[in-house]
Structure 1
Amino acid sequence: MRIRLEKDLPVLLFALVCASTVAALPQVESAWKGVKEIYGEQDFGLRILREAMLLLLILYMFLEPRLRRGVFAGSILTFLAVIASYVLLEVAYALYLDLPLVVPVAGLRVFEYLPLALIGFAVSRLGAGDYVLIRFAQYLRYFMVLQLVLAIMQALWAPPLFGVSFLGGGRPFGTFVSPNLFGATMATCALVFAVVPGMRNWLAVSVFLALLSGSRTAFISSLLVVFFQVYAALRPRDRWALIMPAPMLAVAALLLASSPMLSGRDDADPTQDGRIDLWQRVFADYVHDPVDLMFGWGLGLSSNTINILFGAEHFRGQFDSDSLYLFLLNGYGLLGLLAYLVFMWMSTRMSVHAHKGLVMMFIFVAGLTFNMWEYFPQNALLMFLWGLVLGADRKPIAPPVMPQTFAAPLYRQRWS
């Protein structure tokens, strides 16, 4: 078998994303019939496909010599050792609280797609990051065509199971279990197309689908992508005119995203649908002493997996976090939360990637009201992009290989 990183990796990434179209088939079929399945009754058999694809990518990482050398460099191993040490401490603390092992294991889901970040880092260090991303974006267009057709059909004729779309039918869910997951993925696809040259039409399609989903997080995330696109198009001396009203634009976007007209839900107000009230009760009921604040009060108790397996409020301190930052605070404490934020800041400071600001701001915003590291394929796409950004901290450690493909001229121009 001949391994060719520049040709193989985009195909494997595309296959991983496409696994989402199969994993949720039973739930999609039920939603089309107007039946909202309970999470505990979801069929996990088809979902094994995405884990199988992830294992295939990890195997490829070990088989490809350049990736293997890049991932297992001394600095990367040191970083992983520090992370693993703290995670094992949190697992031990969760077991000390008499939680079954499956609970802290569920809290480790934020690391499930970390190998994609390592692959992205190694590819970026090799100087092939731009080329791989271009090839992947070309394949991603076929995925978008499928989602576009399904979303328009659902927005016109699907039962209003999750609310009413502004096209008159139900809020579209594509090939996902809910409009929120569909919208989050479309917003992330918009991010991918935004960092690849010549993809503005597909960027527009992604933003349209994110808005059509009625998801507030997807709406704000996609507007963030558009904001950065407009900012980059302006002359440097004119950019202040966009920066000055940015806070007011953010507030206006939040209000618009919360309106029933756009979201299609009567409970769209975040102060009325229980989320803000939940976050307030979390601190009042579960944070009792400095140990809880510093180390969390039970790794995995805020994971959606635990809610599916045991039901809501089965364990003391269990809750539906929604926000990634509450998930981290619950499972890894203030130390873990601060470590995550510091690493995001360091990634931005160290990187020389042209789109580092957009990628890292997108990741930060997406985590405010949505635990994106638990949801596939958004987590896979964002992990890979984070790795690409972090790996662009110096000149490539090896000259990139330039295969003869449709993207080769652009690739040569980038690295000539």
Structure 2
Amino acid sequence: MKIQVEKDLPMLLIVLVSVSAVASLPQVDSAWNGVKEVYGEQDFGLRILREVMLAVIVAYAALERRFWNGAASGSMFAFLAVVASYALFEVAYALFLDLPLVVPLAGLRVFEYLPLALIGYMTARLGAAEQVVQKFTSLLRFYIVLQGGLAIAQALWAPPLVGVSILGGGRPFGTFVSPNLFGAAMSTCTLFFALAEDPKVRKWMYATTFLALLSGSRTALLSSFLVLFFQFYQAVRPRDRWALVLPAPALAVGALLLASSPLLSGRDDADPTQDGRIALWQRMLSNNINDVPDLLFGWGLGLGSNTINILFGAEHFPGQFDSDSLYLFLLNGYGLIGLLAYLVFVRMSARISGHSRKGLVMTFIFVAGLPFNLWEYFPQNAMLMFLWGAVLGTARKPHLLPSGAARRRFDALSLTPTHLPAGRREFESLSRWERDLG
């Protein structure tokens, strides 16, 4: 069997994302009937299909010989070894705190789709990431047609289980368990459409922005607005961009107030000036951080995982909480050390990458983690993991693929007598590129 990453990977990724259309059917059916499920009593439905498709993609990548002929570097494996060592330390520390093994294992779920980041990284090292993203984004339009049709129907006729939409029905949830997850998926699709080179495909980001607005999720709407802001910023001439940068803070505050209005959010409790998430986070931190180890290493890996809430119900273990922020989850499970390491890696990814849209992608990932534990929310986690790896793997200077100029130089050197020392050295150097392409 011949593996072609440029041809096969986009189709595998869209199938993985499309699994979200059937993974939560019991919850979708309950929401349509106006029944809100309780933590600890949920039917897992067909969620196992997500893991099955992930395993298929990993097996596919393992068969791609070019991944292992230069794309997988020693520095990458060293980084993974450091991350794995610290994660195992946190598991051992959670067991030391008398937590059952299932709790820290749930805390490792943030790494579940890390293989997609590695595949994205190695695809970029082969120079194929851009082609994969463009093809995947083109296929993503069919997924949006499905989700958009359901969302509009729900916004018109679904019961107002968690708020009222601007169209008069309930807040739409598509094929997800809640409107917030639906909004998170739509804002992530907005990001991918913004990366499209085809103008016809790129226009779909306005449709997904509308769906994010329809969901009533403040984070989804603000994330989509962030993508649009970057699009306008890039379209403006460099000398005129200050006109967008100066009012940016005021625009951000205005967007937050707009997204929090009862008309758009569908809720009366979304006022950011009232006692909300920040006050809740402060109380939770003051109740659980009692000494230096709690601050440095966390007070129990997995206690902030949504998986534990689903399995055991809310507040089953001491220190358990509903983590609605990635950074709060990291502080709980991996301590201040893990939180700072994550932020440093996000910053380093933007600095060392040569991707033309790295600023947009890494800013989106940073912002999306503020009110959501985005690495637990499917398919947002799968899509962003692959994209993060693709951005990180796009080097400032290509290592595996010669540029067009270098290849033309290679063709010229192939006709140059190689008995000349300089010509021989350049010929051999460019020949290594040819062997890497294998």
> What TM-score range do you get, normalising by the shorter chain?
over 0.9
Distance 1:33 1:283 in 2: 37
Q: What CA distance in whole angstroms lies between the structure 2 residues aligned with 1:330 and 1:275?
A: 16
Counterparts of 1:71 and 1:171 in 2: how far apart (Å)? 45
Equivalent-residue separation in structure 1 for 2:73 and 2:332 (angstroms): 32
State whether residues 71 and 119 of structure 1, in contact with CA within 8 Å, keep that contact through their aligned partners in structure 2: no
Report the counterpart of residue 10 of structure 1 in structure 2. 10
User: What SS does the corresponding residue of 2:40 show, helix, strand or coil?
Assistant: helix
Q: Is the 8 A contact 1:217 1:366 kept in 2?
A: yes
1:373-392 correspondence to structure 2 within 5 Å: 373-392=375-394
Change (3 A) 1:399 1:393: closer
Distance 2:12 2:398 in 1: 23
The equivalent of 1:289 in structure 2 is 291
Q: Is the 8 A contact 2:190 2:205 kept in 1?
A: yes
Q: Distance in 2 between matches of 1:59 and 1:147?
A: 29
The alpha carbon displacement at 1:69 in A equals 4.0
* Distance in 2 separating the partners of 1:175 and 1:149: 11
State the one-letter code of the partner of 1:97: L
Per-residue deviation at 1:274?
Answer: 4.3
The secondary structure found in structure 1 opposite 2:22 is helix
- CA shift for structure 1 position 127: 0.5
Tell me if the contact between 1:271 and 1:277 (Cα under 8 Å) persists in the aligned partners. no
- What is the Cα deviation at residue 395 of structure 1? 3.6
Give the letter aligned to residue 154 of structure 1: Q
Deviation at 1:39, TM superposition (A): 3.5
2:319 corresponds to 1:301? no
Once the two structures are superposed, residues 354-377 of structure 1 have per-residue CA deviations (whole angstroms, 9 ceiling, x without a partner) of 110000000000000111000000
For residue 405 of structure 1, what is the aligned residue in structure 2?
none
The offset of 1:273, in angstroms, is 6.5
Question: Does 1:21 find its partner at 2:24?
Answer: no
Tell me if the contact between 2:183 and 2:220 (Cα under 8 Å) persists in the aligned partners: yes
Q: Deviations over 1:303-328 (max 9, x none)?
A: 11111112211111111121100000
**Superposition deviation, residue 38 in structure 1:** 2.2
Corresponding residue for residue 253 of structure 1: 255
- Does the 8 Å CA contact 2:24/2:45 hold for their aligned counterparts? no
The equivalences for 1:240-389 within 5 A come to 240-270=242-272, 272=274, 274-389=276-391
- For structure 2, the residue ranges without an aligned partner over 5 or more in a row are 403-438
Secondary structure of 1:37's match? coil
Deviations 1:316-342 (A, max 9, x none): 111112110000000000000000000
Write out aligned runs for 1:63-212 (5 A). 63-69=63-69, 72-197=72-197, 198=199, 199-212=201-214
| Counterpart check, 1:222 vs 2:236 | no
Label 1:128 to 1:145 Cα distance change in 2 as closer, same or farther (>3 A). same
One-letter code aligned to 1:12? L
Give distance in 2, aligned partners of 1:341 and 1:82: 16
CA distance in 1, matches of 2:176, 2:382: 15
CA distance in 2 between partners of 1:70 and 1:160 (Å): 54
Matched residue type, 1:63: L
Shift of 1:5: 1.0
Distance 1:143 1:227, change over 3 A: same
- Corresponding residue number in structure 1 for 2:62: 62
> Partner residue of 1:410?
none
1:30 alignment counterpart: 30
3-state SS of the aligned residue for 2:196? coil
Q: Distance in 1 between matches of 2:77 and 2:183?
A: 35
Indicate conservation of the 8 Å contact 1:267/1:273, yes or no: no
Structure 1 unaligned blocks of 5 or more: 401-416
How much does 1:267 deviate? 1.2
Q: Report if the CA contact (8 A) 1:190-1:202 is conserved.
A: yes
Which residue identity does 2:24 align to in structure 1? A
- Write the distance in 1 (CA, Å) between the matches of 2:30 and 2:279: 31
- CA pair 306-273 structure 1, distance change in 2 beyond 3 A: farther
Structure 2 distance, partners of 1:306, 1:243, is 42
CA distance in structure 2 between the partners assigned to 1:352 and 1:165 by the alignment: 41
| Alpha-carbon distance, 1:163 to partner | 0.8
Structure 2 counterpart of 1:79, one-letter code: F
Q: Can you list the C-alpha shifts for 1:44-71, whole angstroms capped at 9, x where unaligned?
A: 2400000000011111111111224456
CA distance in 2, matches of 1:52, 1:398: 32
Which deviations, in whole Å up to 9, do the C-alpha atoms of 1:220-257 show, x marking residues without a partner?
Answer: 10000010000001011110010001111111111111
Aligned partner of residue 39 in structure 1, secondary structure: coil
CA–CA distance in 2 between the matches of 1:31 and 1:44? 15
Structure 1 position 36, deviation (Å): 1.7
Q: Do 2:25 and 2:45's aligned partners in 1 also have CA atoms closer than 8 Å? A: no
- Distance, in Å, in 2 between the alignment partners of 1:235 and 1:285 is 51
Identity %, equivalent residues: 71
Query: Which letter maps to 2:143?
Result: F
Q: 1:70 to 1:360 in 2, by over 3 A?
A: farther
For these two proteins, the number of residue pairs brought into alignment is 400
CA–CA separation in structure 2 for the residues paired with 1:117 and 1:11: 17
Instruction: State how far apart, in whole Å, the 1-side matches of 2:288 and 2:56 are.
Output: 40
Residues 124 and 396, structure 1, Cα contact 8 Å, conserved in 2: no
2: CA distance, partners of 1:241 / 1:274? 33
- 2:301/2:332 contact within 8 Å kept: yes
In the alignment, residue 42 of structure 2 is paired with which amino acid?
Answer: Q
In 2, distance between residues paired with 1:240 and 1:326? 34
Cα 1:357–1:248 shift into 2, 3 Å:
same
8 Å Cα contact 1:294-1:333 kept in structure 2: yes
Equivalent residue of 1:19, what SS?
helix
CA separation in 2, counterparts of 1:159 and 1:84?
45
2:301 maps to a residue whose letter is L
